[in-house]
Copies of this chain bind each other. A is one copy, B any other.
Amino acid sequence: MTSRNHCQTLDAQDPLAPLRDQFALPEGVIYLDGNSLGARPVAALERAQAVIAEEWGNGLIRSWNSAGWADLSQRLGNRLAPLIGAGEAEVVITDTTSINLFKVLSAALTVQRQRQPQRKVIVSEASNFPTDLYIAEGLAALLQQGYSLRLVNSPEELPQAIDQDTAVVMITHVNYKTGYMHDMQALTALSHECGALAIWDLAHSAGAVPIDLHQAGADYAIGCTYKYLNGGPGSQAFVWVNPALVELVTQPLSGWFGHSRQFAMESNYVAGKGITRYLCGTQPITSLAMVECGLDIFAQTDMASLRRKSLALTDLFIELVQSRCAAHDLTLITPLEHAKRGSHVSFEHPQGYAIVQALIARGVIGDYREPKIMRFGFTPLYTSFTEVWDAVEILGEILDGKTWDQPQFKVRHSVT
């Protein structure tokens, strides 16, 4: 079993270790939930203060121009684009992941209505993040044209589920429960061979694993900035559309920010160029501005380096849990194969909820997902190897001592 000393050596040799100083992490906490809410960049506080005191307080309405609020969604999209293999002016950061999924799914179905109107099936996974399924359900119910969801129970079932009835394949790249990572390029190619369009939800992969949307030939992508990208609680989501598709149709949430001449105040909608037509309404600026602080840190490294450390962290965690906690009823549900693993690791345990609460009480913050999943996120920008060792040791102590078996660890809270 790897020793704590060896972990300290790994940290000393880690070229990414200095980046941790750019995050404000609380004392006494090992934070393994950056896959749910990323840690705070130190710079975010000062950035928000400037937006509030200077730009809002003193600049007032003038800041739409003078502080660059008016095109902030586009500028931040350009900063994010290299992390997902997108080009300049192809990404905007706006609204929520759910809303952006509604936009791209509507657009994809509209494209298919024109090309192959008989296709009425949206293929996805039953274990996809629920809001993705709910949005598809809501759109299908609104359209009343016979659209339905076809949900598979495992990634292996996807190839046979995608057929001549399939309009859209809508998959989350890294599964939020298991950490399973799909082969984006292969699945997109398969979708295209069958005549379907491919929508990728990058919520659990943007900033966590290397992504190349162009190389994968993806059609649409959406994702989250408040997880691995460290944008802040609930920070706006992103949306990307393949340039070959983006101007084919108008998406239905056609608000004034997506108009080609927003301030001409015309009464008819004329969709803006490229990805700008995926903008809709006025964005909460203070939250949006802080997204840049997370992206500034990514600009100091590259996704290949982050991936190398991410795999080393998750390998170490799996190895340590399987040795230190071998006596306990833990089942790994995350793939061992690197090509199929994102940046979080999940174990099932019948008392998963109480154990996660007991861990949090000891300062190890992971999270719990129904039905019995303990989920641990590894964020190479600020997670150290020694923290992984310490977290597993605490987990081992909790399991050995059965200290999770206390009433206060069994009260259910909701956590996003």
List residues of chain A with CB under 8 Å of any chain B CB: 24-26, 29, 31, 33, 36-37, 39-40, 44-45, 48-49, 51-53, 55-58, 60-65, 69-70, 95-99, 102, 106, 110, 126, 128-131, 133-135, 137-139, 141-143, 151, 226, 232-237, 250-256, 258-259, 262-269, 280-288, 290, 360, 365, 367, 369-370, 413-416
CB-nearest residue of chain B relative to A368?
A: B263
Q: Do B253 and A135 touch across chains, with their CB atoms under 8 A apart?
A: yes
**Cβ contacts under 8 Å, A99 to chain B:** 95, 99, 253, 255, 280-281
Bound form: Cα–Cα A310–B273 in Å: 41
A348 to chain B, nearest CB (A): 14
Known: A55-B233, A137-B268, A415-B64. A281 touches B96 (CB 8 A): yes
CA distance A204 to B365 in the complex (A): 44
A285/B137 in contact, CB under 8 A: no
Complex contacts, A37 vs chain B, CB 8 Å: 56, 60-61, 64
Measured between beta carbons, the chain B residues less than 8 angstroms from A134 are: 254-256, 258-259, 268-269
For residue A254, which residues in chain B have a CB less than 8 angstroms away from its CB? 134-135, 137-138
If A265-B130, A370-B264 touch, does A135 touch B284 (CB 8 Å cutoff)? no
**In the complex the two chains form, is A65's CB within 8 Å of B414's CB?**
yes
Shortest 7 CB-CB contacts between residues of A and residues of B? A96-B281, A284-B287, A98-B255, A138-B254, A98-B281, A131-B256, A233-B285
Cβ contact within 8 Å between A282 and B416: yes
B234–A284 touching, CB < 8 Å: yes
Chain B: minimal CB distance from A103 (Å): 10
Q: With A70-B416, A281-B98, A283-B96 as given contacts, are A52 and B232 in contact (CB-CB < 8 Å)?
A: yes
Q: Complex Cα distance A331/B367, Å? A: 62
Q: Is the CB of A57 within 8 A of B70?
A: no
Q: State the copy count for this chain.
A: 2
A40 and B61 form a contact (CB under 8 A): no
Min CB–CB distance A47 → chain B (angstroms): 9
A365 in contact with B60 (CB, 8 Å)? yes
Residues in B whose Cβ lies below 8 Å from that of A102: 252-253
Across the interface, do A52 and B58 meet the contact criterion of CB distance under 8 Å? no
User: A128 CA to B233 CA in the complex, in Å?
Assistant: 34
- Closest chain-B Cβ to A161's Cβ sits at a distance in Å of 15
Residues of B near A416 (CB, < 8 A) are: 61, 64, 70, 263, 282
Give complex CA distance A56, B290 in Å.
Answer: 12
Q: Are A138 and B237 in contact (CB under 8 A)?
A: no
Question: Nearest-CB distance from A293 to chain B (Å)?
Answer: 10
Partner of A131, one of B63, B232, B255, B284: B255
Name the residue on B nearest A106 (C-beta): B142
Q: Is the CB of B233 within 8 A of A286?
A: yes
User: Closest CB of chain B to A413's CB: distance in Å?
Assistant: 5
Q: A40-B56, A232-B56, A281-B99 are in contact. Are A130 and B49 (CB under 8 A)?
A: no
Q: How far is the CB of A69 from chain B (nearest CB, A)?
A: 6
A40 contact set on B, CB distance < 8 A: 52-53, 56-57
| Residues from chain B with Cβ under 8 Å of A61 in the complex | 33, 36-37, 365, 367, 415-416
